């Protein structure tokens, strides 16, 4: 991996712009979770609000606040939407392709087994199937 890509990956991680990928279906815990998306929204919002306030006060122009709304959309709302869409798509694949996905103890949004309180993945079924109970809503 070249240094520029590594640098931008690090920046992405710092501001949580990462969308995650199918590898998260094999990781416990996954890199992108609903919590990481929420944390990213809060972090980016805080940074954007500070930047907007500083710019408005520095230039003493309230019109810049509209520019702030525009930046807020592209810096916070749109990345969060993209992250959440990718996250939901990945979870649907996980649900479809694992035993846990059809179990009533599986909590999709957190990728967790509710009775063992452990993350599940394609390679990790914490109960090895012994506690599996059909989720009748899926059948």
**Token representation of residue 127:** 């109960």
Binding mask 78-117 for ligand SF4 (x = CB under 6 A): ---------------------xx--x-xx------x-xx-
CB atoms within 10 A of CB 44: 19
**What CA–CA distance (Å, rounded) separates 25 from 94?**
6
Answer for which of 125, 136, 137, 138 binds ligand SF4 (CB under 6 A) is 125
Q: Which is nearer to ligand SF4, 48 or 113 (CB)?
A: 113
**What CA–CA distance (Å, rounded) separates 79 from 137?**
32
**What CA–CA distance (Å, rounded) separates 107 from 115?**
10
Residue 131 is a binding residue for ligand SF4 (CB under 6 A): yes
Q: What does the binding site for ligand SF4 look like in residue numbers (CB under 6 A)?
A: 99-100, 103, 105-106, 113, 115-116, 120, 125-127, 129, 131-132
């Amino acid at each position: 991996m070249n240094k520029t890509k590594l640098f931008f990956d690090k920046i992405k991680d710092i501001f949580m712009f990462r969308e995650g990928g199918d590898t998260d279906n094999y990781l416990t815990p996954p890199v992108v979770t609903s919590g990481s998306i929420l944390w990213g929204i809060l972090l980016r919002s805080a940074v954007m609000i500070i930047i907007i306030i500083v710019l408005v006060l520095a230039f003493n122009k309230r019109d810049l606040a509209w520019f702030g709304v525009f930046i807020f959309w592209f810096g916070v709302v749109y990345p969060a939407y993209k992250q959440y869409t990718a996250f939901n798509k990945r979870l649907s694949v996980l649900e479809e392709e694992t035993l846990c996905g059809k179990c009533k103890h599986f909590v999709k949004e957190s990728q967790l087994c509710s009775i063992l309180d452990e993350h599940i993945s394609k390679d990790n079924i914490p109960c090895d199937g012994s506690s599996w109970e059909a989720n009748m809503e899926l059948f």
